[in-house]
Amino acid sequence: MLNQIEGIVIRARPYGENNKIVTLFTRDAGKITCMARGAKKPSSRLAAVTQPFTHGSFSVFKGKGMGTLQGGDQLESLRHIREDIMKTAYASYIVELIDRLTEQDEPQPSVYDMLYQALHAIEEGYDPEAISLFVEWKMLPHAGLTPTLHECANCGATEGEFAFSFQELGFLCHRCFHIDRYIIRLSPSLVKLVRTLYFVPIDRVGSVKLKKESKSLLKGIVRTIYEEQAGIRLKSRSFLEQLDRTPEFLPKKEEVQDPQEDELS
Ligand SMILES: [Zn+2]
């Protein structure tokens, strides 16, 4: 059976002399893996459409076992992502996280929409570090972790000061701070920021300018949750951390000023 299906290439690994095994994340069929014969040869018509992050319309022949990629039309190239090492690194991190937390052949249109929005936001020049934070917070339920962020995880209060508790997997209000010795106190603006990252779709956000220290803190929290509570640590994370430590290897860019306040609207 031949299917024409819209999707995004989230992984392509070489197979044998000339082939690639390609993982597509599609809106209608979820994650599918197929063989792209000859795609490693630059002259192949499949070479371009099997590049990571390609958004395309693919013809997949599905018989028994792994499907075969017969052809594909690129809908968008998202070339700005591929031309910038930082953007590539964050986009790779995002697709690896989604790959890790989803099953084959299980339609998950909301995950597809988020992936699509995240890659577009990075392509359009939004801060890739902030965009990856959205994806990390939003994917928690797919790792079986549903943090309580709309109210206090202990008493249900919605008013007051809040802190993050790993023990309760969510916010605690100031009346309940005493039940966890290791809470992380958060300013009201950080509380709001965490809620936006978790609840608000990426394409509803108009402006994303976050302070470096806010990003570091919220990244630290969400990655600790994945690591401690789901045992998940991604390969592409090491590369990102290496880039963070060695900015001198990055192409020189205009200095971007760290904003005075977090701005998310
Ligand atoms: Zn409480």
134 CA distance to ligand 1 middle (Å): 26
Instruction: Give me the tens of pLDDT residue by residue for the chain, a chain 265 residues long.
Output: 778 999 999 999 999 999 999 999 999 999 999 999 999 999 999 999 999 999 999 999 987 888 999 999 999 878 899 999 999 999 999 999 999 999 999 999 999 999 999 999 999 999 999 999 999 999 999 999 999 999 999 999 999 999 999 999 999 999 999 999 999 999 999 999 999 999 999 999 888 889 999 999 999 999 999 999 988 888 777 777 777 777 665 665 555 678 888 887 7
217 CA distance to ligand 1 middle (Å): 22
76 CA distance to ligand 1 middle (Å): 47
166 CA distance to ligand 1 middle (Å): 15
Query: Which residue shows structure tokens 């809620």?
Result: 195
pLDDT at 239: 72
How many residues does this entry show for the chain?
265
39 CA distance to ligand 1 middle (Å): 56
Task: Give the helix/strand (H/E) hosting 83.
Answer: none
200 CA distance to ligand 1 middle (Å): 24
141 CA distance to ligand 1 middle (Å): 22
Report phi then psi at 63, rounded to 5. -115, -140
Write down the number of H helices and E strands in the chain: 7, 10
CB 218 within 8 A of CB 133: yes
161 CA distance to ligand 1 middle (Å): 9
- C-alpha–C-alpha distance, residues 5 and 24, integer Å: 10
124 CA distance to ligand 1 middle (Å): 40
Task: Give the helix/strand (H/E) hosting 74.
Answer: strand 67-76
197 CA distance to ligand 1 middle (Å): 22
202 CA distance to ligand 1 middle (Å): 29
pLDDT at 249: 59
184 CA distance to ligand 1 middle (Å): 14
174 CA distance to ligand 1 middle (Å): 6
187 CA distance to ligand 1 middle (Å): 16
7 CA distance to ligand 1 middle (Å): 43
Which residues, at least 6 apart from 255, have a Cβ–Cβ distance to it below 8 Å? Answer: none
178 CA distance to ligand 1 middle (Å): 10
